[in-house]
Structure 1
């Protein structure tokens, strides 16, 4: 007579909650390790990744212009793309030339005013409550100078020159890559996207295509909204500096416009620069009024533009924006802070769609006329064109071979 088998149980000595936590833990660690490796790779090839990312933003922004020139002005698409890229280059060069000319003409007066301000500070340190002697002031000035200049002597100078030369070379190469990629993104964005989607298994192409369309809409909305917000900041602070007769008003407005693309941090830093210039050039009262102008512009941005425009465009909570900027700056510095918010916005839209939460149900699952009117060349790509492309893993279908 055999004994009855003992029923197996899955409880065991380890509670089910602990096993579930362990299962989640190793999966989360594996995902975190993969993301860390991906971030490391991106940082290593940032000379290529950053220009391509900028080119994608420019292509999304300039897509409607190309569509207008191609469809309304009856220009060939290649001519419309070339004219748009040339116009962009001319606009950027013109603004930089105008700001540079103003900077060259005003930097001399500002330098002399800054020297006078430094002398006033030295006098206050000597005659004020601190009663510091000239030797003490000079000692602290020498320490600060040594802190910023370093103690490497001629080797530090040579290293700095080499680093500056490398940076200039990287900027030049990045500019060429950006222009090249922008041109072809605008000219053949549909073909590039078709190739990317065609690399995926046939069953996942439609979902990836639809998710990509919605991510592109989010990216376009972010880009247009951020340009509007940056323009409002630049015009407001630039007009305030012009009214207060603060020198370098145009370069300051340009700096504010560029800095506003970094949420939270950029507006604060560029506003502080404007206040500092006003303090050096016009004195404390002008700096106080400049501070009031900066605070007013930032309040308009924070309470009107960001909640209504940017919140609608990216659908990210302010806490998420702040954490994204902090993480991006920690990983890749200023560039990471610049691209953190659009990357999080696109990932948010794509992940929500893949989990059944469509932020843009009006896009549907076919490319209608309303989609084509947006002017994005990737959006008016029919999904059937992806479904009929051969799967790279299995080759062409029997119908295609026939």
Structure 2
């Protein structure tokens, strides 16, 4: 039976080959007739325009063909130097990127009242997520665990602010008296020091300062009005932070899966891997920053208590908050502690507190941050400074607070997306076991 089928196949194949050969012969014959006819008559026809010129022939009055580069599409492009073409190509691409970046910055600036609270909520979620995980392991419902952690955090923050405000109110009168004494000491130094200013000159400078304040009263008034608007924005942002933090802690994984599903299937694996790595980086950065800030505040606060500097607890709290802005924040908060020590206890105590602040900063930069944060979230100081400056310009203090963790997250995400490794399993993957045949 198989031999019969093979013989039929061979017969069909032979018929097709013979038909193909006959068709080729007829086409060759037609081409030969069309080629021989005009040559015999010596006349050209529309089908055969006539004999072609040899390659070496020169046509009088015709322009030589322009040399075309493989990267050009017209003669005009070929006349432009190669370096200029490359520069133009880079220029228009950079212009497009600049326009897109400018548009994104305008959008961010317009809706910053929403973006900044959401970013702060992400930071708080990364900080509080381990506590929610502990309660979930203790068989707490997810909503209850999230509520307990969020309310506990609010109570801790409100209690700390209450202690700071109470101590500040109690110590302001004494500090005001000492500040007046400090101002008089400065006036005496201006008179007897190297400047040798007279009473008339000091009075002139004081009158000019008062005139400047009087002339800028409208500016201060408008600033108060804008402060009222800023207070409304702060209240709105605080409410948004609380709600966003609650839902990030409770439904963070579901929200991330929903966002990943919006992407093309081919991109989900890489984006999900980069997102999870970025979240781990953000959590490590926030927890390490809190620990470093706590160590800074305790170290400086102990010396403030030892030297009986007023507002020791508020200044320690200020150092703790300032440490969330790397390099810049800790230095500014430490400078405030040095000024208070100068006004209250004199130059010697102020120099000692200054040495303590510098020592703590060196310990933080060379020991604590490399040891606690590790290389996973290590950022070059130049990138930190540029990021903080850009954050201040775009969104003020909140922008400076968010800038560095944003750089750390983007650094991790870009590295993961640029890596050639493929994650083990995609998000929401379903593994189906194959049955043996």
Residue 30 of structure 1, aligned match among 78, 96, 112: 96
1:242 aligns with 2:305: yes
The equivalences for 1:326-345 within 5 A come to 326-345=389-408
Paired position in structure 1 for 2:137:
71
Deviation at 1:317, TM superposition (A): 2.0
Paired position in structure 1 for 2:241:
178
Which is worse superposed, 88-97 or 40-49?
40-49
Give structure 2 stretches of 5+ with no counterpart.
1-51, 56-63, 72-77, 432-437
Paired position in structure 1 for 2:123:
57
Paired position in structure 1 for 2:428:
384
Do the aligned residues in 2 keep the contact of 1:150 with 1:156 (CA within 8 Å)? Answer: no
CA distance, structure 1, for counterparts of residue 214 and residue 360 of structure 2:
39
TM-score, normalised to structure 1's length? Answer: 0.84
Deviation at 1:191, TM superposition (A): 1.9
Cα gap change, 1:141/1:309 in structure 2, threshold over 3 Å: closer, same or farther? farther
TM-score, normalised to structure 2's length? Answer: 0.78
Cα gap change, 1:117/1:260 in structure 2, threshold over 3 Å: closer, same or farther? same
Residue 193 of structure 2, aligned match among 112, 128, 140: 128
Deviation at 1:141, TM superposition (A): 2.7
1:229-284 CA-partner distances (Å, limit 9, x unpaired): 11111111111111111100111111111111111111111111111100000000
CA distance, structure 2, for counterparts of residue 333 and residue 3 of structure 1:
77
Residue 351 of structure 1, aligned match among 407, 414, 419: 414
CA distance, structure 2, for counterparts of residue 178 and residue 53 of structure 1:
9
Do the aligned residues in 1 keep the contact of 2:120 with 2:402 (CA within 8 Å)? Answer: no
The equivalences for 1:41-56 within 5 A come to 41-56=107-122
- Relative contact order, higher structure (CA 8 A, sep 6+): 1
CA distance, structure 2, for counterparts of residue 311 and residue 333 of structure 1:
28
CA distance, structure 2, for counterparts of residue 199 and residue 386 of structure 1:
18
Deviation at 1:145, TM superposition (A): 4.6
Count of residue pairs the alignment pairs up: 365
Residue 280 of structure 2, aligned match among 217, 242, 251: 217
CA distance, structure 1, for counterparts of residue 409 and residue 228 of structure 2:
35
Deviation at 1:58, TM superposition (A): 0.8
1:9 aligns with 2:69: yes
Cα gap change, 1:14/1:130 in structure 2, threshold over 3 Å: closer, same or farther? same
1:304 aligns with 2:363: no
Give structure 1 stretches of 5+ with no counterpart.
367-381, 388-402
Residue 256 of structure 1, aligned match among 295, 319, 335: 319
Paired position in structure 1 for 2:157:
92
Cα gap change, 1:146/1:86 in structure 2, threshold over 3 Å: closer, same or farther? farther
CA distance, structure 2, for counterparts of residue 135 and residue 163 of structure 1:
38
CA distance, structure 1, for counterparts of residue 87 and residue 274 of structure 2:
31
SS in 1 for 2:428: helix
CA distance, structure 1, for counterparts of residue 356 and residue 195 of structure 2:
33
Do the aligned residues in 2 keep the contact of 1:218 with 1:345 (CA within 8 Å)? Answer: yes
1:75-114 CA-partner distances (Å, limit 9, x unpaired): 1111000000000100000110111111111111111101
SS in 1 for 2:215: coil
